[in-house]
């Protein structure tokens, strides 16, 4: 995975890629900060995402993690959890 161009010197995501493959690589990097076998609240998910990016759009990143099946959630959004990467 070569995403250095998308990270700042602190390892935080600074740019959202335009190409789908790079987006998936960045999301794969981001999801590593979530534990397996743990249920997160939406607030906890947002906090983790905010700790690891600089462009102030946790909504986008949370949605992309869900849409790419890296995280799952209950229908009401009360619980989130990390999925195995296929």
CB atoms within 10 A of CB 86: 5
CA-nearest of 86, 80, 77, 78 to 35 is 80
Token readout for 40 is 């997160």
What pLDDT sits at residue 1? 67
pLDDT averages per 10-residue partition of the chain, 86 residues: 93 97 97 97 98 97 98 97 84
Domain that holds residue 58: 4-82
Helix (H, G, I), strand (E, B) or coil at 33: coil
What pLDDT sits at residue 84? 84
Whether the pTM exceeds 0.75: the reply is yes
What pLDDT sits at residue 16? 97
What pLDDT sits at residue 23? 98
What pLDDT sits at residue 41? 98
Q: What are phi and psi of 35, to 5 degrees?
A: -85, 150
Number of domains in the chain: 1
């Amino acid at each position: 995975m070569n995403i250095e161009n998308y990270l700042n010197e602190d390892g935080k995501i600074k740019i959202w890629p335009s190409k789908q493959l790079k987006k998936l690589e960045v999301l794969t990097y981001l999801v590593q900060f979530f534990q397996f076998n743990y249920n997160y609240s939406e607030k906890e998910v947002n906090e983790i995402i905010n700790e690891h990016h600089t462009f102030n759009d946790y909504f986008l990143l949370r949605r992309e993690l869900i849409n790419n099946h890296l995280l799952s959630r209950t229908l009401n959004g009360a619980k989130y959890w990390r999925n195995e990467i296929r």
